[in-house]
Amino acid sequence: MLIGNHNAARKQADATFQNTHIYVKDKGLYIFATKECAGEGYDGRISGTNKFFHSLKIEAELCNVEGVYMSKNHGPFERLQDVLSDDMSAVNTLISTRMSSENAPRIPEVTAHLVEAGGKRLRPMLTLAAARMCGYDGDDHVKLAATVEFIHTATLLHDDVVDESGQRRGRPTANLLWDNKSSVLVGDFLFARSFQLMIETGSLRVLDILANASAVIAEGEVLQLTAAQNIETTEEIYLQVVRGKTAALFAAACEVGGVIAGAPEDQVDALRGYGDALGVSFQIVDDLLDYGGASSALGKNTGDDFREGKLTLPVIMAISQGDSNERTFWARTIGKRQQQDGDLEHALELMAKHRTLEATKVRALSWANVARKSLAPLPDSPLKTHLDELAEFVVSRIT
């Protein structure tokens, strides 16, 4: 079966996998689970990675193997996966082992979905790459990579907790496995496991970095919550939210790789700077894609953020340039989340009028450039090249 591009691939996947669970069975496989086709209770936990998968440009042959699409296409991410495949296998084994709980059978029940659903493990890959490119030849980077993935997964689980106030709009009804309480408690378990793992490295500096990242992540999430319905939210606050909820873990994932390898301080700083900028870029791209990207091509998931009243960069920019009529519109639809048919289309018109999707794209590209430039102090190596290309690849989703 030949599928020429991402949209066609998704359409095909949607048709094939309607209401089924899709697992990634091996590395190098793509998952096309969308909110609509992933089945009840399956959505959300992997939404971040989902979007990443969705947006891959697939130009090579895809074949349907046991309900899973396999791609033979190799981008920078796959090249990283190839170089680090032994390390990543060790990370996956460690994750499986440490996710289990003899005492509470529900924990493996819930986490099994997360493990099998996989995700590209972008964050642990950063840790592995950073450690290896700084010449590390021990085993602790595997523990740290698993730690980073546990923190990420716990965050996704907690992000999935909803209130009764209608925020569940547009989302599938949670089933027993996925109720609020389970999400919170299993997330807590993963947080605890992540700390157990990082403690095993015996490096207080690494512990410090990851504990600080955890605090910044929580602060970012809380800030997002308070900013959520305030249409006065500035680009500066948006950046602070993004730094917290996304970039902090990217930065820490890179930094601890360098630290565990005993890299010189300027290289550790470089890795941290790379992770931070890559994370910011990654999140801006994600937020832009939610409105169909700079081309504002309308897809079936377009406008999820709008419906949820999330103040992301394209909207923030449109509000700041809007006249009083437009601000009234934003105050109603985002501020009070009183929405009706046609509002999303009107919102997209306003963004087009002020060209905020293009402006958002410029920001994303600029952060990807910061990421690439941050790598300068690191000695040349194939891994450095892969990381450089990865920064380009992240924004290739919108170019």
Place of tokens 């099998």: 116
Which residues lie near a second copy (CB under 8 A)? 101, 103-107, 158, 161-165, 168, 174, 179-182, 184-189, 191-193, 195-196, 199, 202, 204, 207-208, 211-212, 214-223, 225-226, 240, 244
Place of tokens 């009840």: 40
> Which residue, 151 or 285, is less far from a second copy as judged by CB?
151
CA proximity to 259, closest of 147, 144, 379: 144
> Which residue, 218 or 359, is less far from a second copy as judged by CB?
218
DSSP class of 102: S
Count of all residues that appear for the chain in the document: 399
Place of tokens 């992933």: 38
Closest distance of CB 169 from a second copy, Å: 13
CB neighbour class for 195 (10 Å; exposed up to 12, middle 13-18, buried from 19): middle
Closest distance of CB 198 from a second copy, Å: 9
> Which residue, 7 or 196, is less far from a second copy as judged by CB?
196
Closest distance of CB 188 from a second copy, Å: 4
> Which residue, 169 or 353, is less far from a second copy as judged by CB?
169
Distance CA 81, CA 34 (A): 24
Distance CA 290, CA 47 (A): 12
Closest distance of CB 107 from a second copy, Å: 6
> Which residue, 184 or 365, is less far from a second copy as judged by CB?
184
Distance CA 378, CA 280 (A): 21
- 124 and 148 in contact (C-beta within 8 Å)? yes
> Which residue, 221 or 358, is less far from a second copy as judged by CB?
221
CA proximity to 314, closest of 336, 337, 330, 325: 330
Closest distance of CB 165 from a second copy, Å: 7
Closest distance of CB 148 from a second copy, Å: 15
> Which residue, 234 or 396, is less far from a second copy as judged by CB?
234
Closest distance of CB 175 from a second copy, Å: 11
- 358 and 294 in contact (C-beta within 8 Å)? yes
